[in-house]
Structure 1
């Protein structure tokens, strides 16, 4: 939104939203507590998300992988990791020869470890067959390949012959993997149980083998037990093994296979991660069985992310959470019910906080993380003072370079604003710095604005909402960072019940006085030189004409014409020409619908010209409002001999300022033939033409001839028809054979026209070309 008509284009885009786009899932979710990337990277595939689980890298770039570490140990740390990685990931069996300068190969040839070299060659030969994609015709019978079977037999033999345990286990793993892809699940079970099951020094090779063993297990409870152990110990297998964990199997059946507390903790961890609902009991069990466990930390982080969704997504946006669990019954969704659910979920957050308070920080891994979680849960439960006190303690013990510190700062900003009294909320210098540091985080900026708005500071709220446009999401960027929100006033039949744009929102929700206060603030503070002011006002300081237009439009909706004119006069003519005139057509008048091309006092849509235009004016909101005030004054002047004439012109203007007229842009920024109902305060006037009806009635009362009275009655009846169509919309009721006749039967003014002016009824209702004759008959 770079100028006023971009506002309008955004409103036009709402029609696209209504037809096709509606935010859901991750687009709605509010989450400020984001630590998986920095602290629990290997679990990040299982971050709480409306998209459930997403496969991704589990090791950071250049991180030494478990298998690489095994080879490094095998070579007694004499070989660079880069050379080990090259052999494992890139070389073929043909590249493994004495002439290769790779330092791993040179080391093995130097110490004459031909067994290891032969293993590497054999492993490379097996790579092609460790996949489901070997058969180009995708025939099931092609899954069992003779070549793979031969390699399987060879792997089993070599495993038995190996003199070194490291290589014996590696050959056994190759055999297990070949057997699995050969659909020989019995062999998978036999090899694992004979080679790995009783191995005391388990490493990544054991857990890679257990991965296939779990997939080959027919006992679902035992398969779940194996899956949980693989999940914890083989990060690169987590995504796939989690899919194989059957949450329907009772945990009691799985736990009976666990021999150690660590194994029990692993079971509760995976079961908890697979659960999208409340998981407090799983947290407690993991802590009970293995308190010094990074998986426990991740499970707590995930639970807080759930609580954020359940509390903050509704609290800030008034949408339901991105994931509707059993506690969020879709049959009960209304904004009021949503807000009641928020309070229940804050109570659950208190339960999680109580658990955190009971934890012995000396027993857990990463005490600073747990303290930060406590501060966060205090904020969620609205204990802002305690949250801020704990944040103050933590800030002195956490390095500013740690992402945890930035999490604390964002939490501090939210809690500080939320902790202020109604009517006294402001953005302190300290909070300004935090906002600037996170100015690209749209939903955080929006949440600060929402907290300010809830506290009565609608001016700063609007200024922060306006910054959404500086961070406008474009193709290739993260659409999940756009803030979408509803208002409590919206109803189910509203044309568009959500917002993503500052102007759209204040157009509907702010009073004229609130927008005037916003303008005043921008005018007097936008010239400040400090960084925060420059950032905060950078967008709206360019939009003052648009805001004056908006205030004037709001006063038009309230029929406060003098106040409307006062604001319209603050807008220069170039603005009106660019936005509402056909003279300077640009990108914002792309379809011509927003152009004042008909005089609203003398011309009616779908009606031949019937009134001579005496006062030609350059049509702008300013000139139309000024002329309307002038004509109302003339019409109300008892000494004026043409009161009926001026009342009629006033009525025409009010009619044209409705959805049915040619000056609808006096009240709206978007027009559609479909109605597009809103929650604007003049909604009934916009569709019912009540003011036009009032002034046509006054024109009739002051009319001097029966012909002009008949024309006034015809216009009154037209207004009444619009009112009835708004009150009784066509609903394809099978009982209504003729909707037009149904509306006509309810319109008493057509009956009055027929009864009181029977000779004129047919002409005035069947052909509006007669209007000119009846208007000339005014005298």
Structure 2
């Protein structure tokens, strides 16, 4: 279903967001410290994510696997690892013969090591039985195959007859693995406890065997202890063994089985991996027991990624952290105030982690640069920008510029530089510009910088950076974790129309006309130059000046500042109007043609037969409609005008048509939805309540000369009032025993007046819209 929604999202216009798609999980999560840069391949399956853990290769292709190391040592380092790997992972039993060109096999045959050769052949014979085998009849004994039982007995016999300890252990491991797939847990326990349990020199075979021994253990704390030891020592078993660790078992009951500090550290390591919230106490214990523990660095990195989600995801996007879901029906829980309150609590936790990192000796760690980089990032997270920037600049001197880590440090540097400025004096520093260009495809990075600038009062540069967020080119794999989705401080609570993913919709909803005018002015005075960053920053909006000018006029319409709106619209070229709002030109702005001015807003009403003769024609676009509205307002306001009631009525029609219910909603909005939905746009009440239309229908009625025309005005007032009441009571009306339409009608004072004082007019005007023409003609 999710993929279907994403498919729809790509094909349809931005308004489709309101119809079904809503960002969640990894699509929202902010992270600037990429765990892949630090090469913890053995732990990669446990990188912090809003999703569940997913298996990833624990080794790189170039890495030598532990079993390959054992065989290389056995062959006295005379055989290439690649040949060992072929024998172990690709060959079949029939490939093992004296004529093989494989160097490992040639070495064994030349040494006449038939014990090793026989083992390899037997291991190959066992491979197809070392998995679950389905029985189409679903019988109870489907997992206990005679062939497997025979192999199990043979493996145990061979283990007992081996002359070399090496193969005694290997045959025992094969027997344990076969017993597991035969569900013979008693044999697993017996074999492991007699062969491996007291083993002094443990190797990968020990921990592979312990993996199956864990599955066979009935004592939950002991099983957890075994799982922790496997997790530490067998990277290729980590993903599966982690699923066996029972998090509800008290860690103290697990630790009682540990005999060494390393075994204790292993328990804390897996316990921390399985902890999805704060894990600082576990980190401290691992550090105390073994500062050089490889997994300790990964735990710190994972804790940083958690805190990025807890702090940056809500701070920048104003969504809850990615691992949580808003309760859409609880406005308090979903409120921006509540979300930001939590951010401060998580910043306080980040200070505790910073204090721990600051008091550790990074030189004792397996990855000192990671600890220093994490410390710098924690300084940013806790808003100590000066100290953080200083540390980042020190680290830059120690890392080659061609390494991925250097770019990570540069991203941190840009964040520190911009966030560390004073409110009211923020800009994009010269040092940050090449870093931004280098990472211009990182949408969340761009948005975070823009958000920092916006928070500090620089809405011009913020909008310019937002304009560079490209939601059509998220990354080379079209992964949505690089997307930028965000809300606004003005958010009223969670709805399906409460977020943004592009600059235009955002400044349309949030920026004031003055801010848009400043943005336009800034772009106008900055001509194209040879500066790469300058041209990139202004590149998008320099080509969208007409759209911005139209937006400015639209904002003035929302404020009912018609003169200012007209001045803005007049700066927009005629071709723009033809392309965007005309049915007779190719319309590139609305996939369904829904933004076309196809009805005259002064004379025609939706769902109402024509009843007013159109005496003048205008080219239907925002400029001409605004000019005509001003003209009719002047004529209606002229006390010497004999048709004031007529012009007030036309003005009221226009204002009505500029609402959700009219044919010219495009004067106030850039998309229309039949379901409505709250937005933060400043004229929200007018758009749904038709207050200006009501004002001018009242003026038309006051200036009317005939009873029937007054009744027509009263009928239109009733229509406006109905819309106002439906908007007002859309959430508050709870009485399910009463008909909603009757409830709304009962509160409509205009319909009540029309019905009680003029029942014949009420019946005519509410029963059939064809009467509108008759009542309008009776104006004189």
Q: Which residue of 2 aligns with 1:607?
A: 608
Q: Give 2:627's aligned residue.
A: 626
The residue aligned with 1:415 is 416
Question: How do 1:74-93 residues align onto structure 2 when only pairs under 5 Å count?
Answer: 74-93=74-93
CA contact (8 A) 2:602 2:651 kept: yes
Is residue 583 of structure 2 the alignment partner of residue 582 of structure 1?
yes
Kept after mapping to 2: 8 A contact 1:318/1:338: yes
Change in CA separation of 1:676 and 1:337 when aligned onto 2, cut-off 3 Å? closer
CA distance in 2 between partners of 1:246 and 1:144 (Å): 28
Aligned residue in 2 for 1:259: 259
Separation in structure 2 between the aligned mates of residue 655 and residue 225 of structure 1, nearest angstrom: 72
- Alpha-carbon deviation of 1:735? 5.4
C-alpha separation in 2, matches of 1:345 and 1:730: 34
Cα offset for 1:730? 7.8
Q: 1:8 Cα shift? A: 12
Measured in 1, the distance between the counterparts of 2:564 and 2:358 equals: 58
Q: Classify the secondary structure of the residue corresponding to 1:539.
A: helix
User: CA separation in 2, counterparts of 1:524 and 1:8?
Assistant: 36
Identify if the C-alpha distance between structure 1 residues 185 and 526 changes in structure 2 by more than 3 Å, giving closer, same or farther. farther
Task: Tell me by how many angstroms 1:307 deviates.
Answer: 0.9
**1:223-622 aligned within 5 A:** 223-324=223-324, 332-469=333-470, 472-473=473-474, 476-492=477-493, 494=495, 496-525=497-526, 527-586=528-587, 588-622=589-623
Equivalent residues of 1:350, 1:377 under 8 A apart: yes
For 1:559 and 1:9, locate their aligned partners in 2 and report how far apart those are by CA, in whole Å.
Answer: 32
Distance (Å, rounded) in 2 between the aligned partners of 1:503 and 1:366: 44
Asked if the contact 2:581–2:587 (Cα under 8 Å) also holds between the matched residues in 1, the reply is no
Question: What is the SS of the residue equivalent to 2:451?
Answer: helix
Pick closer, same or farther for the CA change 1:465–1:310 going to 2, 3 Å. Answer: same
- Are the counterparts in 2 of residues 580 and 589 from structure 1 also a CA contact under 8 Å? no
Worse-superposed segment, 535-544 or 269-278: 535-544
SS of the counterpart of 2:35? coil
- Counterpart of 2:3 in structure 1 is none
Distance 1:37 1:157 in 2: 48
Deviates more, 1:715-724 or 1:102-111: 715-724
The equivalent of 2:185 in structure 1 is 185
Partner residue in 2 for 1:654: 655
Q: Is the CA contact (8 Å cut-off) linking 1:43 and 1:298 kept in structure 2? A: yes
CA distance in structure 2 between the aligned counterparts of 1:759 and 1:145, rounded to whole angstroms: 90
Residue pairs, 1:25-104, within 5 angstroms: 25-36=25-36, 38-104=38-104
The question of whether the paired residues in 2 share the 8 Å contact of 1:8 and 1:670 is answered with: no
TM-score in terms of structure 2 length: 0.94
Whole-Å separation in 2 of the counterparts to 1:612 and 1:442? 53
Q: How does 1:123-272 map to 2 (within 5 A)?
A: 123-133=123-133, 135-272=135-272
C-alpha contact (below 8 Å) 1:369/1:404 kept by paired residues: no
Distance 1:341 1:289 in 2: 33
Distance 2:715 2:369 in 1: 77
1:15 is the counterpart of 2:18: yes
Q: Aligned partners of 1:701 and 1:671: how far apart in 2?
A: 33
CA apart distance, 1:708: 2.7
Tell me how far 1:139 sits from its aligned partner: 3.5
Note closer, same or farther for the CA distance 1:68–1:135 as it changes in structure 2 (3 Å cut).
Answer: farther
* Cα distance in 2 for residues equivalent to 1:38 and 1:395: 15
1:53 offset after TM fit, Å?
1.1
In 1, the alpha carbon distance for the partners of 2:244 and 2:773 equals 80
Instruction: Please give the per-residue CA displacement for 1:647-679, whole angstroms capped at 9, x wherever unaligned.
Output: 221111111111121111111122233223322
Query: Alpha-carbon deviation of 1:144?
Result: 1.0
Report how far residue 475 of structure 1 moved: 9.7
Partner SS, residue 525 of structure 1 = coil
Of stretches 564-573 and 763-772 in structure 1, the one that deviates more from structure 2 is: 763-772
Contact 1:442 1:471 in 2 (8 A): no
Q: Is contact 2:471-2:501 (8 Å) kept?
A: no
What does the per-residue CA deviation read over 1:579-618, in whole Å, with 9 as the maximum and x for residues that have no partner? 2111024454443321111111111122222222111111
Q: Which residue of 1 aligns with 2:6?
A: none
Contact 1:391 1:412 in 2 (8 A): yes
CA shift, 1:712, in A, is: 2.3
Q: 1:552-584 CA deviation, whole Å, 9 max, x = no partner?
A: 111100001111111111222222122211102
Query: 5+ unaligned residues in a row in structure 2: which ranges?
Result: 1-8
1:205-263 per-residue CA deviation (whole Å, 9 max, x = no partner) reads 11111111111111111111111111111100000010111111111111111111111
In 1: Cα distance, 2:682 partner to 2:10 partner:
20
Shift, 1:523, TM fit: 2.9
What SS does structure 2 have at the residue aligned with 1:244? coil
Larger displacement relative to structure 2 (350-359 or 750-759): 750-759
Alpha-carbon distance between aligned partners in 1 of 2:415 and 2:438, rounded to the nearest angstrom: 14
C-alpha distance in 2 between matches for 1:9 and 1:508: 21
Determine the C-alpha separation between the residues in 2 that align with 1:584 and 1:99: 78
Equivalence for 2:4: none
CA contact 2:29–2:309 (8 Å) conserved in 1: yes
Hey, what does 1:3 align to over in structure 2? none
The answer to whether the 8 Å contact 1:36/1:298 transfers is no
User: CA 1:464–1:137 in 2, change beyond 3 Å: closer, same or farther?
Assistant: farther
Partner of 1:111: 111
Give, in angstroms, the shift of residue 711 of structure 1.
Answer: 2.4
Q: Is the 8 A contact 1:36 1:43 kept in 2?
A: no
How far apart, CA to CA, are the structure 2 residues paired with 1:391 and 1:476? 30
Q: For the Cα contact (< 8 Å) 2:334–2:493, is it kept in 1?
A: no
For residues 425-457 of structure 1, give each alpha carbon's deviation from its aligned partner in whole angstroms, at most 9, with x where no partner exists. Answer: 111121111112222221111111111111111
SS at 1:362's partner residue? helix
Name the CA distance, whole Å, in 2 between partners of 1:218 and 1:710: 85
- 1:106-151 deviation line (CA, Å, top 9, x unaligned): 1111111111111111110110111112645454412111211221
Q: Structure 1 residues 285 and 543 mapped into 2: Cα distance closer, same or farther (>3 Å)?
A: same
- Aligned mates of 2:582, 2:476 — CA distance in 1: 32
Tell me how many residue pairs correspond in the alignment: 768
Q: CA deviation at 1:532?
A: 1.5
2:258, 2:264 within 8 Å by CA — same for their partners in 1?
A: yes
From the superposition, tell whether residues 652 and 217 of structure 1 become closer, same or farther in structure 2 (CA, over 3 Å): same
User: In 1, are the aligned partners of 2:765 and 2:772 still within 8 Å (CA)?
Assistant: yes
SS class of match (1:386) = helix
> 2:222 and 2:495 mapped to 1: Cα distance?
53
Task: Please give the TM-score of this superposition, normalised by the length of structure 1.
Answer: 0.94
Q: Give CA-to-partner distance per residue, 1:752-771, whole Å, 9 cap, x none.
A: 44566566443333333222
The alignment yields a C-alpha RMSD, in angstroms, of 2.3
Cα distance per residue 1:729-779 (max 9 Å; x no partner): 387755553433332332222344456656644333333322222222222
Moved more, 360-369 or 200-209: 360-369
Closer/same/farther in 2, CA of residues 591 and 35 from structure 1, 3 Å limit: closer
How far apart are the structure 2 equivalents of 1:270 and 1:691?
65
